[in-house]
């Protein structure tokens, strides 16, 4: 292999390693059996959510994961592999891919990385079932408002009962 080819491969490994390190979450999928139209639609949905999907050689992914300090991913990098990188939202890539897989049964989550920790396919599917960031914030707001709302209702009930007595 020529020096130029080796340098090009090393550049790809370095780039992928950087993506692994910077990503909030990474989802590794097997896309074998998807039509070109399905892959295009999936990429569009991911891109609209600010997620980048790449098809990268397994050998490059293995070296990049190792360089990023991610151990135990070699089993995930077998067969046709696409990788979705999200720098912001931890849940979004898994959620979008899992939702897409309901109609495109050939799509399969093989594993991934959640905030720098290697995760199994089961963990990634569990992550996909969580509400998205806005849903979690809404739930938190609801929990924070509950005591105030209950206090206001109690005060109103006391005031109404005093009006009835008077």
What pLDDT does residue 38 have? 92
Q: Where are the domains of the chain?
A: 3-130, 132-166
Do 91 and 130 form a contact (C-beta atoms < 8 A)? yes
Q: Look at residues 71, 74, 127, 118 and name the one whose alpha carbon lies nearest to residue 97.
A: 127
Average pLDDT value for residue range 99-121: 89
pTM metric for this prediction: 0.75
The alpha carbon of residue 111 and the mean position of all alpha carbons in its chain are separated, in whole angstroms, by: 11
Higher-pLDDT residue of 166, 81 = 81
* % of the chain beyond a pLDDT of 90: 33
Residue 9 has pLDDT above 80, yes or no: yes
pLDDT in tens, 33-68: 889 999 999 999 999 999 999 998 999 999 999 998
The phi, psi pair for 109, rounded to 5°, reads: -75, 125
| Residues 6+ positions from 119 with CB-CB distance below 8 Å | 111, 112, 113, 127
With a cut of 90, say whether residue 2 has pLDDT above it: no
Cα–Cα distance measured from residue 44 to residue 89, given in angstroms and rounded to the nearest whole number: 17
Tell me the CATH number for domain 3-130.
Answer: 3.30.70.1730
Report the b/e string of 61-87 with b at 16+ CB within 10 A: bbbbbebbebeebeebbeeebbbbbbe
Q: What is the pLDDT of residue 52?
A: 92
Mean pLDDT of the residues in the chain:
87
Q: What is the DSSP letter of 84?
A: E
pLDDT band of residue 166 (cuts 50, 70, 90) is low
Q: What is the tens place of the pLDDT at every residue in 76-102?
A: 898 889 999 998 888 889 999 999 998
């Amino acid at each position: 292999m020529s020096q130029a080819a080796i340098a090009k491969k090393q550049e790809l490994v370095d780039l992928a390693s950087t993506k692994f390190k910077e990503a909030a979450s990474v989802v590794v999928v097997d896309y074998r059996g998807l039509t070109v139209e399905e892959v295009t639609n999936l990429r569009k949905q991911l891109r609209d959510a600010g997620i980048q999907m790449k098809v990268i050689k397994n050998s490059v992914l293995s070296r990049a994961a190792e360089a990023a300090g991610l151990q135990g991913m070699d089993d995930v990098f077998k067969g046709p592999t696409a990788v979705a990188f999200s720098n912001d939202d931890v849940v979004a890539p898994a959620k979008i891919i899992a939702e897409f897989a309901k109609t495109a049964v050939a799509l399969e989550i093989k594993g991934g990385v959640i905030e720098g920790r290697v995760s199994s396919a089961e963990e990634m599917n569990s992550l996909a079932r969580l509400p998205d960031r806005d849903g979690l914030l809404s739930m938190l707001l609801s929990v924070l408002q509950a005591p105030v709302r209950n206090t206001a209702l109690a005060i109103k009930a006391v005031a109404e009962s005093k009006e009835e007595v008077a």
